[in-house]
Amino acid sequence: MPDRRLPTPPPTPGLLECPGELRYFDSPPTTAVLVVREFTAAARWKRAVLAWIGCWGAAVAAVFLPVLHFVLVPTLLFAAPFAARRMFAQRRVLLSVRGRCPACAAALDTTLPGGDPRVQPVRCDACGRSLELHPDTSLLAAGPAPEKHEGPRPQA
């Protein structure tokens, strides 16, 4: 009899599954699996440029808003490099978490808004309690060292 199972898709490049814990006050913590997107240097540059262009594009659009343009245009122009730097600095972004609620033991599979992989609040769908998501400390590391660029070697 032929095997009718669907083949498992290959892993998506840049997505990692990392361990973590879900905690709730005095309940014992439960293990969780975090899905994290890791960006290459080229992807981080692209995100930074898009953030800069987005801020400046919004500033151009704000020119046509009476009275508001006196505040919005300078603010958006000033914020552009900060938004770009933040996008470039993010090596990893937390996408989702799977595990069990430590308070009610219900299965939890939640998509997150895509923030920094640090301690984040997560709400249990079953009991509505606000849980703390603690990622593994290896996830908080700065990541691999940047490649060293050596100039041209002198010829002897």
CA gap 151, 117 in Å, rounded:
35
pTM of the model: 0.68
Q: Which three-class secondary structure state does DSSP give residue 48?
A: helix
How high is the pLDDT of residue 146? 36
Q: How many domains does the chain have?
A: 2
CA gap 123, 131 in Å, rounded:
6
For 55-117, the three-class secondary structure string (H helix, E strand, C coil) is: HHHHHHHHCCCCCCHHHHHHHHHHHHHHHHHHHHHCCEEEEEEEEECCCCCCEEEEECCCCCC
The answer on 102 and 35 residing in a single domain is: yes
pLDDT per position in the chain (156 positions), as tens? 554 554 444 556 778 888 999 999 889 999 999 888 889 999 999 999 999 999 999 999 999 999 999 999 999 999 999 999 999 998 888 888 999 999 999 999 988 887 777 778 899 999 999 999 988 877 666 555 333 334 444 454
Residue 15: other Cβ atoms inside 10 A: 12
The answer on 104 and 32 residing in a single domain is: yes
How high is the pLDDT of residue 93? 87
| Residue 147 placed within a domain | no
How high is the pLDDT of residue 8? 46
CA gap 144, 40 in Å, rounded:
11
Tokens (6 digits) for 101: 């609620």
Print the domain residue range for 29. Answer: 14-39+92-139
| Residue 151 placed within a domain | no
CA gap 63, 60 in Å, rounded:
5
| Residue 74 placed within a domain | yes
Tokens (6 digits) for 3: 């095997």
How high is the pLDDT of residue 59? 97
The answer on 48 and 85 residing in a single domain is: yes
How high is the pLDDT of residue 153? 46
| Residue 5 placed within a domain | no
| Residue 152 placed within a domain | no
The answer on 104 and 29 residing in a single domain is: yes
CA gap 152, 52 in Å, rounded:
32
